[in-house]
Structure 1
Amino acid sequence: MPDRDAADGSRWSQVTYTLDQGWRIQLRSGEPTAAEIELVTAAAVTSFGAHAKLSDFPAAAELEARPLRLVHLAHEDGSAVYLQAAEAGADSTGRPDNVYNHVVFDRRPEEPTPPLRPIELWRSPDLLAPFAHLEVAAARLRAEGMPQRGGIVTLDSVVSFVCDPSTWRAGVLSVLMDAAAAALRGGPPVVLLADSQDTGALWLGAVQRLMAPSTARTLSWSLYERASGLAGAWARGVHIAVVPRVDAAESAAFAGAVVIDEAEMPAVGQPGGEPHSTAAGSEVTASDWSAAAQMVLVDDEIARRVLVVLDEVVLRVGDRSLDPEWPLAMAVVVLGEETRDALDAASRVLLDASPDGIRRDADLYERTVAVVSAQIGSTTWGVWRELESRDPRSSLLVRELMGSAYLERCLSDEEWLLRDEGVPLPELALLDADRERLAALADAAIADIVRRADQREPANSAVHALRLLDVVSRAGLLGSGIARTGPEADDLLRGAAALLVEERGVPVAARAGAMSLPVRERLVVELEAVAAGRDPVPGAAAPEEVLRWLAGDGHLLPSIAERLSVPVEALPPVRLSLAMLVLREGVPVAGATATVAYSLLSDYAVWEQIPAVDRRPLERAAALPGAVLPAESAQLEEEFGGQLPEALVASALASAPMGDHLRALARRVQVSRPGSSCARFGLVRLAMAPSGELVADQTALELRDTVLAMRAAADPAPVAAEIGPRYLVALLSTLGQLPFEREWRASVEKALRTEAASGERRRADAAATTLALLAREDSLERAQAEVGLIRRFRDASEGAEERLRQKLTAGEHAPRYALGLARLAFLTSEDFPDPSLVDPRARALAELRVPDPAGGTVRLLDRPLRELVAAGDLDPEAIAAVLVDQLGAIVTLRGAAGGEKLLTAIERSAKSWQRDLRGTRARGSFRDGLASFLTDRKDR
């Protein structure tokens, strides 16, 4: 196909192609591109196949009458090509049946000038058709650019042809017009049987004259196409093929096409009724376009005026993308009384096909508006029905005009505004001129409602007002939005708000139906003003049915959502009620939970003193992952000192990814909620932080319980993503067990697989090793993998060990830190890498020595007990909790690796500790508890 971006930027190029010692390009102009040359060699005619053979030595008259084939092809890329082929006699070698091809490329046929209709090039003197090798050799292109028009198809010749009083051609023309329009829109191709090429050209000329030139340039046709070549023509995209009458009997070749004989008298159909019917049995849907043509092409003078005006209106709107039917219809309307018989058909065409370009011509626009107004109904319902019946592919301009007419009637039609089904609106933009006019009408309608407001029927007046404001808002008649309304609209909204905050507003909301977002937002403003003077119960600034109506789709209004940010702000009563409604519905909205809690505490300070509020939905909403962010919780903790329900804070601590805000919250709750589950959650998260910090004043048992509680409170994914060497070391050294066995396992493994595939080597190693640990089902293998994991990340364990030793040396809560350090040393011991060596490991644990306060050394597991003795702190339950938890963790972790021997070693140490304590104070409960523990473990 032609190259639309030729190197020299020219629109036209030409090429001739013929047989001269082989098929070759002979002449060229306009710098044809490689793609164009390729098209010539592929599409050129090399065997003409005329229906009558020329004589051996044809005279000039015979040559003048010889058939020519002219093809016009409109390509999908917007370019076009003209190909004329003619018999050329013998070539220079004496070989007969040469064909001379002259090809013209139009690279930009969409350009409106020149206003060429392709068939006008028929028999152009610039299209070469030399005969015999001497003429072929002497042939020269006569002009560059567009070829000169021929003299066969002109305005005068077309008028004379279709209005010839001796031959009625309106029937064939009607069928041909409608078949051509259908083919342009993807319908079947058309075969026109003609007695001569010139009459075939005039038929094509008549069809093209009745449409805009640019539209005619989208119609592909072949003049003098033999029946045997039709399949190829259809494949090339031909819409109409003019076939010589001698091929009329080749009916099999016409299959699938509309067949029209220029000599027949078809049965002419009616628009919306019976179709056209041809002698060959083809049926074609009749249109108003062809009906209008029948009315105006009966007199030479009228026909000429119509076709002249047709070209004028095309120029006035700009000849681009016009429907085939529109120019004739517009010309008929412009001529008015001269063509009144065709006005009805033309008016119907304008309803479907008026182009947007008509907006820039005031006269044509006003004429179109008048036609549309006359065609649509006079009632609101009638206009809406007409608008709804429009094909969405029909004229956008006309649909907009109908939309404006509908809105004009709708604004003043109270019965329509109050209909039970609601007020429909077309999804169309308004023309600027109509927008100003309709905005003025809307203001007048609003003022009229205010004047006529019935104090005896306030509910009815409120529904009327809301429906009208909703229509005005949805139609975009308020410029920058409903906040721009004048005092009349303010009065309407204020009156509606006064009803809506009370129970009598429930039926008003139900009857008003769905409202546009701008109306609901503006109503909230007015409702806040009313609610401010009523001091409503939190969450009940209006009846729940009204709140649901205001919420619309169940999501927060933008005016509320934009306030859900840090720092948190209190919401006024109506917006607070709407936010609480969303939370009751279980819709997760980031920031909503914290904002509602902040709003409630801002008024009442103490959570339990908030009146008539069911706090359970709020707490359920807070438990949703991401519902409360650490930054929000930190602000609430700072301002309200632990008044926020613990569940709200726990969710953030358990689920939020680690960051500065979470770290600040974790430390804050140690002050605002000491000893609470939130405080313990915070400590565990700090232990899981990249710094691996371990926090004071926590026993192993407390931390383990906290992790178990976090399993129930947390979405595992964010926490699992923090799994790494420091986290594992911190927890293993503190808890003695991995904190993910069931609930978190799937999420942990997913996060670890992602980490293992990461490009950061250390993170990938940590993840891969942890995955290997999780995969171990056998206790012995698991223990071995656990030791390997700790050793792999020794630097992290050394950090934990150093902090524990500092705490121990400082004498702070020695039992707890001694036990933690003992476990860490046991797990990271380089001397006993094989978990099966139970006895040596047990001995190593028992003999591990650390400095004592007197400057000597003492066994690690003895020191906490001796310090307890020295301090006189021999509470049996405290000692049992520390010792039993420590021994139980070791037994659980190593139980499968020679459990009996390990129990023996532990029992030996336990009896030694009992002897050390004997006689100091009555300690029966401790001894009994420890003996019971050892007996229970041994019995297992």
Structure 2
Amino acid sequence: MTSRYGQLTYTSFDTATHTGGWQVKETSADLTPDEVHALTSGVRTVFRPAQPLPTYPTPEQLEHGPRRLAYGRLDRQRAGYWHTVPAGSDSTGRPGNVFAHALLDRAAGERSHRPIEWWRSDGWLCPYGPLAVAAAALPGEPPTPGAVVTKDSVVQFALDPGAWRLATLFGLLDAVAGALDGGPPVVLGVESADSAAQWIGLVSFLMSAGTAARLNFSTFDRADQLTLARQSMQHLTAVPVDDLEYLPDDVVAISEHATLSLGELDREPHRTADGQAITVTPWSAMAQVVLLAAESARSVLDDIDHYAAEVADAGLHPAWPLAMSVAHRDTFADALTEAHAVIAAHSPRAAGDSVVARTIAEVMRGALGTSTADAWKAVQDTPDGPAADLATVSYLCRAVADTEWLNQPGLIPARARWFERHSAPRELRDALDPALAAARADGPLRVARLADLLLRCGVDDDRVLDVLRHEVVPGLTDPESAPGLVHGLRENVGAPTRLALAAALLRDSGEAPAVPGEVLDWLAEGATAPAPQELWRAEEWDPVWTRAALRGVRTVQRGASDPADRWASLWWLRVSGSARFAEFAGNSVWHPDELSAAVGDSVLPGAAAVRTLMGAPSSPALDRLAQTVLRTNNDDVAVACAAMRIFDPRTWIEQGYAASHQTAYAPLWEKAVEVTGVAGVHRDAAVRLVTFAAIAATAGQPYPPASAMMTSDAQVAADAFGHLAALLDGYVLNAMSVLAVAALRFGHNGDDLPVLADGIEDLIWQTARHILATRPPETLDVGMVAATMAQLSGEPSDAALRRHRKTVLKLLARRPEAQPAPSARTRWSR
């Protein structure tokens, strides 16, 4: 079982094969190559302390000497620590060696400590000099949090009477909040790395441990290393104070020594000594109130951990735990407004009876006011989250019982589809019965408006649909009342209600429901027919399914408004059980997906598919339709057409279908062309038919006469010739058979051009010329060609064989020059 932590050391040292050089010295046994790469990528081999160690440091100087701790998330689960110390000269005497001890945390979000607490941990290896570096070995247990950066240390640091640090801290908090939210990185100029660790500790303890685990930082870098820091996505980087003047402009630079001018929330930003603006957030506004006395400040840090533990500490806003502490301590009343704003905007999900849920309810009590309008304003003003959810429920409970609110002109305000993600609470369910009863007493318009509010919010309750069915639908089916009711509803209900009414009207209604045309027009406004892919995933009478039914019914009764309506009407004819479905499907060429979706799980009538199989372009969708026909259909013409579209010429020959199926399919293809007409055959299908016909002719088998007519299209003939030439060049089509057919025609007219009965024979003649132009004479077996001629002509005598040999030799003597792939010359185009 893989442990939580893995370790690695990296430095310049001697190996058995070479002297010196930067390399991994040691890894723990369970590190994978990818993990080793991730850790080594974060190592810094240059360490230039502002106050370097002496050439021969004492143990005490080494103990308190310079070091660097960097932390960064590698992905959603893992994070790395990189602890770096100067290591003196390496084994070659070269100065500037560095020893890096890296730690991999495979569960970075599961923690009770902040990463900065590993500062000056006793578990980090800190060898100095080549002998110590060579002897350094990874400890059996990974480093654990140290005792240098703690809650007590950061409070003492922040409130040190000898140094006023709070103004800097408040600006730093807000700058870090911006960096965590995707803003510019923060660079803090410090006197020492130990000071940097306490600053980072202050920021980290004022947020939850889980949020601190998202804060990438370094306690020490130099200005010229900020490019590497950015590549590591560091949010907060400490540099020596003297390096601040060399920083780029696109970072937020703060000095621990320079005066930072504090701003005011929602009014003025903070200003650094160099004039950089930092937006003030509630986080710093609350910190200004809670960090006034050491005892209360220390208690706040405990509160932060307490409230973070009440929820899932993942993705918490940095200020949220502090806001919870402020909200529960009377001594911090001056920051209550800011705390309430943070709780309303950034609270995570929590159990209904938890302290967090109760706090959210308390915070929202004032914002919700007493009226429906107050509650709606709270919904609008509160960002998505538990507080907005509470506001939404309160608003709906008030709105459904508020006659004046429900009678306002236009659509009643609603938080669209909110209850599709949440179940309706009991208080809303309990409010529905009296609200629906009051609406019934007021008439169908009031019922529809109440139902519309609930449906647009996503409330799934059978009582709402029942009241629409019983109170509104009868008025829409009555020719006398329908126009007036539609007029009253037109501007006052939205698409979800129109679809619900459509479902109620059309369910069990058959092909042509008794719904006035103006009602269908109104219901269908803005509801376009769904694409076939959408309908495949839909469930019966869900919104997508209902849209298709609505557009289909309207098209059957009123005509199509756009091309998508045609296929919706085809689909509706099938689902409504209309006897017209097969005829309607068979009279048009459909997109294959449309025809498949219209058929659904039913068996596709063969006659309904023929025009599409013959008239649609080649595509994966057509392949799927043809495969369906082959699997489920017993209509011979449709099956023959499906096979023709599925199997390419190479497969047709290699699988033996040219011999086994051609004779049976030829008359069926002819029937298909009679149904569609030659003009109704798509060019892709025509090329396939012409190619198959030529293949059949070389074997003396029948082919549809209509395929010869298709060669009058020069592009069809040229494409078919291309297929035949490729089959010959690939030695799939028998060249001797092609030459035999050509020679028979050639022999009928002496030395003149062959007598050609139709465009297929013309195409074969062109293919034979391709053979003569591309193959050496010695590869052409005259005897085999003559024997094939005898077989095709039914003349097996020796005299006939001799005559055929002479014809073949004459044909070979007319060997043409190599020619490009032509448009086949046909008797129909001459």
CA distance in 2, matches of 1:289, 1:229: 30
> Structure 1: where are the runs of 5+ without partners?
1-6, 454-460, 533-537, 565-571, 608-617, 639-646, 667-687, 696-702, 794-823, 838-891, 897-940
What pairs up with 1:209-608 in 2 under 5 angstroms?
209-245=205-241, 247-248=242-243, 251-333=245-327, 335-356=328-349, 358-359=350-351, 362-375=354-367, 387=379, 396-414=385-403, 417=406, 419-421=409-411, 423-429=413-419, 432=422, 434-453=424-443, 461-462=444-445, 464-479=446-461, 482=462, 488-499=467-478, 502-516=482-496, 520=499, 523-526=502-505, 541-552=514-525, 553-555=527-529, 579-581=556-558, 583=560, 587=564, 589=566, 592=569
Tell me the CA shift for residue 300 of structure 1: 1.8
Structure 1 residues 584 and 747, CA gap change in structure 2 (3 angstroms): farther
1:119·1:201 contact (CA, 8 Å) conserved in 2? yes
Q: 1:802-828 CA deviation, whole Å, 9 max, x = no partner?
A: xxxxxxxxxxxxxxxxxxxxxx999xx
CA distance in 2, matches of 1:438, 1:227: 59
Amino acid at match of 1:515: A
Tell me the CA shift for residue 118 of structure 1: 1.7
2:662·2:703 contact (CA, 8 Å) conserved in 1? no
Of 495-504 and 104-113, the range deviating more from structure 2: 495-504
2:99·2:133 contact (CA, 8 Å) conserved in 1? no
Query: Identical aligned pairs, as a percentage?
Result: 25
Tell me the CA shift for residue 584 of structure 1: 7.1
> Structure 2: where are the runs of 5+ without partners?
542-548, 617-625, 640-660, 743-751, 768-791, 795-799, 811-825
Q: What SS is found at the alignment partner of 1:516?
A: helix
Tell me the CA shift for residue 176 of structure 1: 0.7
Amino acid at match of 2:122: P
Structure 1 residues 707 and 381, CA gap change in structure 2 (3 angstroms): same
Structure 1 residues 895 and 194, CA gap change in structure 2 (3 angstroms): closer
What pairs up with 1:850-861 in 2 under 5 angstroms?
none
Aligned to 1:86: 85
CA distance in 2, matches of 1:747, 1:562: 44
Q: 1:678-718 CA deviation, whole Å, 9 max, x = no partner?
A: xxxxxxxxxx99625769xxxxxxx99x9598246666766
CA distance in 1, matches of 2:152, 2:375: 43
CA distance in 1, matches of 2:358, 2:3: 40
> In the alignment, is residue 740 of structure 1 matched against residue 734 of structure 2?
no
CA distance in 2, matches of 1:84, 1:573: 67
Tell me the CA shift for residue 262 of structure 1: 1.4
CA distance in 2, matches of 1:254, 1:214: 31
CA distance in 2, matches of 1:425, 1:648: 46
CA distance in 2, matches of 1:65, 1:600: 87
2:89·2:97 contact (CA, 8 Å) conserved in 1? no
1:15·1:29 contact (CA, 8 Å) conserved in 2? no
Amino acid at match of 1:520: L
The TM-score, its normalising length taken from structure 1, stands at 0.62
Structure 1 residues 786 and 254, CA gap change in structure 2 (3 angstroms): closer
What pairs up with 1:610-689 in 2 under 5 angstroms?
622-623=587-588, 625=590, 662-663=635-636
What pairs up with 1:684-699 in 2 under 5 angstroms?
691=664
Q: What SS is found at the alignment partner of 1:129?
A: coil
CA distance in 1, matches of 2:478, 2:455: 21
Tell me the CA shift for residue 296 of structure 1: 1.0
Q: 1:412-436 CA deviation, whole Å, 9 max, x = no partner?
A: 4555555325655434456656444
2:42·2:232 contact (CA, 8 Å) conserved in 1? no
Of 166-175 and 299-308, the range deviating more from structure 2: 166-175
Amino acid at match of 2:106: R
CA distance in 2, matches of 1:273, 1:573: 54
Of 164-173 and 733-742, the range deviating more from structure 2: 733-742
1:400·1:429 contact (CA, 8 Å) conserved in 2? no
Tell me the CA shift for residue 218 of structure 1: 2.3
Q: What SS is found at the alignment partner of 1:691?
A: helix
> In the alignment, is residue 118 of structure 1 matched against residue 111 of structure 2?
no
Structure 1 residues 163 and 721, CA gap change in structure 2 (3 angstroms): same
Q: What SS is found at the alignment partner of 2:238?
A: strand
> In the alignment, is residue 710 of structure 1 matched against residue 710 of structure 2?
no
Amino acid at match of 1:116: H
Q: What SS is found at the alignment partner of 2:72?
A: strand
1:30·1:144 contact (CA, 8 Å) conserved in 2? no
Aligned to 1:856: none
Q: 1:556-595 CA deviation, whole Å, 9 max, x = no partner?
A: 8989x9999xxxxxxx999866633355765465594597
Tell me the CA shift for residue 364 of structure 1: 0.8
Aligned to 1:912: none
RMSD in angstroms over aligned alpha carbons? Answer: 5.6
Q: What SS is found at the alignment partner of 1:86?
A: strand
Tell me the CA shift for residue 305 of structure 1: 1.7
Q: What SS is found at the alignment partner of 1:504?
A: helix
Structure 1 residues 98 and 783, CA gap change in structure 2 (3 angstroms): same
Structure 1 residues 426 and 59, CA gap change in structure 2 (3 angstroms): same
1:159·1:304 contact (CA, 8 Å) conserved in 2? yes
Structure 1 residues 46 and 725, CA gap change in structure 2 (3 angstroms): closer
1:190·1:239 contact (CA, 8 Å) conserved in 2? yes
Structure 1 residues 622 and 541, CA gap change in structure 2 (3 angstroms): farther
CA distance in 2, matches of 1:76, 1:787: 68
Structure 1 residues 212 and 495, CA gap change in structure 2 (3 angstroms): same
Query: Could you tell me which of 128, 143, 147 is aligned with 1:146?
Result: 143
CA distance in 2, matches of 1:622, 1:550: 29
Higher Cα Rg, which structure: 1
Structure 1 residues 370 and 434, CA gap change in structure 2 (3 angstroms): farther
Structure 1 residues 740 and 282, CA gap change in structure 2 (3 angstroms): same
CA distance in 2, matches of 1:58, 1:381: 73
Amino acid at match of 1:710: G
CA distance in 1, matches of 2:222, 2:704: 95
CA distance in 1, matches of 2:10, 2:149: 24
Structure 1 residues 270 and 691, CA gap change in structure 2 (3 angstroms): same
Aligned to 1:812: none
Query: Could you tell me which of 180, 186, 207 is aligned with 2:182?
Result: 186
What pairs up with 1:66-105 in 2 under 5 angstroms?
66-76=65-75, 78-89=77-88, 95=93, 97=95, 99=97, 101-105=99-103
Amino acid at match of 1:106: L
1:72·1:83 contact (CA, 8 Å) conserved in 2? yes
CA distance in 2, matches of 1:583, 1:731: 46
Q: What SS is found at the alignment partner of 1:322?
A: coil
Aligned to 1:929: none
Q: What SS is found at the alignment partner of 1:50?
A: coil
Q: 1:517-557 CA deviation, whole Å, 9 max, x = no partner?
A: 7x63554545779x99xxxxx96833322112333524389
1:551·1:578 contact (CA, 8 Å) conserved in 2? no
Tell me the CA shift for residue 287 of structure 1: 0.8
1:624·1:651 contact (CA, 8 Å) conserved in 2? yes
1:267·1:276 contact (CA, 8 Å) conserved in 2? yes
2:5·2:104 contact (CA, 8 Å) conserved in 1? yes
Tell me the CA shift for residue 260 of structure 1: 1.2
